[in-house]
Chain A
Amino acid sequence: MRIVKRVGGWLYDRSRISPIVQALLSHKIPPEVGRSRKGWFYVFGQALVFLFLFQVVTGTGLAMAYVPAPAFAWDSLRYLNEEVFWGAFLRALHFFGASAMILLTFVHLSRVFLTGSYKFPRELNWMSGVILLFLVLAMAFTGQLLRWDQDGVWTVMVAAQFAGRTPLVGEYLMQLILAGETLGGGTLTRFFALHVVILPLLILVVMGFHIYLVFQNGISEPPRAGRPVDKESYRAWYAKLVREGGSTHWPDAAWRELVFVAFVLLAVFAFALTLGPQGPGPAPDPTALEADPRPDWYFRWYYALIWLKPRVLDEVVLVWFPIFLGLSLLALPILFPDGERAPSRRPWAVFAVGMALLFWGTLTAFGLRPHWVPNFETEPLPAEQLEGASAGAREGAQVFFDRGCQFCHQVHGHGGIYGPDLTAATRRMPPEEITIRTMIGVRDMPAYYEVLTSEEMDRIVAYLRWAAGGDE
């Protein structure tokens, strides 16, 4: 015991660490953050630091078994899932750790925005935070891609197409993403280097700067209506507030942070244990075209947005919207550096967060069950349902299935939902109109005049008449 004390004392003395420890232990915080329930709004940043370290730990484990070559990456993930001791569990922890990190990044951002904490003198806190947001999203994107299954391969292709639309430099950006002019041997290793070395190092540096700023500028005090930020007097006022408040970060705020971190880690473990690792999905074969790629949950909203936006706005939503969003987030503290911080005095700020949440929720809901996707798995109408139909209607049912009408149209509950349900179509419009619409096409309905013979068309109409319950 004494030897431990002696070695410890020697290290403490020779490392000259005492001033740093003292500064950390006596770091003053606003009394409300330390001693009121409002302190629970100030725990998210710390949880993100812990989650980053958690991702580094689980990630270094995975890097020991992952083979970043396009030929073997998928197999090495299956090996991790099936053969390696706790390999599947580690993969699950890394996935749900990442999910928690993305979620909390936005919670943290919203909290700082709502309490106006980005205002003077904490402009750089906010701006470095926005850069961290970009880096976290880049990690999420590259991580999804390293799963190198069908989704992973087509994620690269989709990313390349997005980048390709950028004015002037589009083609070069695309070649940088693909590491050549097409998907190949160089593509995966570059993303591996980004995800495992470059982006984590950048996060470490920017996060260090971010935390340093939190210490130097102090944790922002919970806002109060009618107490605007004034650039002339704020620093002196804040210094007096924390000096006289008597709250220190350790342990007044630290205990709450640790309780929250424990809760987050428990949730990550619970999800990992119950749901297991994510993928890998089908083999990463770019020539297997019966593929159905979808982004992970955190990018689903954007996937839905691409469909739901007006078509003429392609360029705006795919290229300019992300650039605009990023730049306006960065510029926020420059545009609104002082004034009221309380949410009750900033209705537009509350409105913006509410709208963002509403948009995100709605778009995600659409993205999770996209109605604009043809149903390639649809089955023909079962024979027992065709009981009593005439020969013409039966043949019509077969044509309806064979010619792919059923990819997009339902009849009696069978088929896709891209186009309208045609069960009662003949009651809505005369057969001639059905024929014309099918042959010439309307909006998202292709023209079939080169595909369907007029006999086939007649049989489809007979089938639809039967489906509507009419005589044929």
Chain B
Amino acid sequence: MGAPDGADPVHDRVDPGGRGPLGDSPCPPSAFGRRRFFHWLSLSVAGLLATLVAIPWVGFVLSPVLRVAAPTWRLVGPVEDFPLDETVKVTYFDSEPHPWAGFAAETAAWLRRESEEEFVAFATYCSHVGCPIRWEEGPRLFMCPCHGGAFYADGSVAAGPPPRPLDRYPVRIRDGNVEIQAVGVTAQRG
């Protein structure tokens, strides 16, 4: 905290033994003495303790990456509820719906019935930077409010900066019901 006069009393000190902070040691310079032993012992123990505390913390923080979720199928409604060639929004619980998640426990998909037996489910976020996309029936386009991206009814890019088609989710029909697999968000790979 002193005036910055250029002198540095610790580092500029002349130390004939060349042994740094242990220069004041009463032990002979050559011996691996008691003080030197405790110096390294203390540093090692401190380092070990810090590592011991850090390991569980880092593991805990990284846990979302390490966890592998089992595939979860969500029922979104009976087949006959979905008219042919129409795109509708369906909402369902994501793969881990915590009770405190509220709105965030739910997720949505754009579901289109292509034929009697064929359904396609599209992600509801843009493939550009991830903004919410809405289906507009008039022009039959998915449109993004952020950077003007647009996608055709089959999810392919119609206009704007999106680099790839909309993500698709696995869909299946079980006992006359449409089910969508609750999967994670994906991004354009760098």
Contact = CB atoms under 8 A, between A and B. Distances in A.
Interface of A: 19-20, 23-24, 26-28, 69-72, 153-154, 157-158, 160-168, 170-172, 174-176, 178-188, 215-218, 235-236, 238-239, 242-243, 283-293, 303, 306-307, 311, 314-315, 318-319, 372-374, 376, 402-405, 407, 418, 441, 443-448, 450-451
B3 A286 contact: no
18 contacts: A27-B3, A28-B3, A69-B101, A71-B103, A153-B103, A157-B185, A160-B130, A174-B185, A176-B64, A181-B69, A184-B98, A215-B1, A239-B6, A289-B133, A374-B143, A374-B145, A444-B148, A450-B140
Contacts of A218: 3-4
Given A160-B187, A165-B189, A154 B139 contact: no
B184 A181 contact: yes
B62 interface: yes
A320 to B, nearest CB: 9
Most B-side CB within 10 Å, residue of A184, A215, A376 = A184
B176 interface: no
A300 to B, nearest CB: 12
Interface string B1-14: 11111100000000
Contact of A72 (B96, B98, B102): B102
Given A27-B1, A290-B134, 15 more contacts: A69-B100, A70-B104, A157-B131, A165-B190, A170-B189, A181-B69, A185-B96, A186-B98, A286-B103, A289-B108, A291-B145, A303-B146, A307-B147, A374-B148, A451-B139
B163 to A, nearest CB: 6
B152 interface: yes
A309 B152 CA distance: 24
B158 A154 contact: no
Closest 6 pairs (CB-CB, A-B): A164-B187, A71-B102, A181-B184, A185-B98, A404-B139, A161-B130
Contacts of B163: 314
A82 B89 CA distance: 33
A187 B184 CA distance: 13
A212 to B, nearest CB: 8
A154 B183 CA distance: 18
B4 A239 contact: yes
Contacts, number: 242
A404 B141 contact: yes
B55 to A, nearest CB: 18
Nearest to B161: A311
A410 to B, nearest CB: 15
Contacts of A293: 131-132, 145-146
Interface of B: 1-6, 61-62, 64-65, 67, 69, 89, 91, 94-108, 124-125, 128-134, 136, 138-141, 143, 145-148, 150, 152-153, 158-161, 163, 182-190
A283 B106 CA distance: 13
**SS of B interface (majority):** loop
A186 B69 CA distance: 14
B185 A185 contact: no
Contact of B186 (A164, A236, A315): A164
A164 B188 contact: yes
Nearest to B139: A404
A235 B104 contact: no
Contact of A287 (B5, B89, B182): B89
B104 A153 contact: yes
B140 A178 contact: no
Nearest to A161: B130
Nearest to B93: A184
B85 to A, nearest CB: 11
A174 B129 CA distance: 13
Given A165-B188, A165-B190, A372-B148, A158 B4 contact: no
A154 B65 contact: no
Contacts of A372: 147-148, 160
A20 B150 CA distance: 64
B67 to A, nearest CB: 7
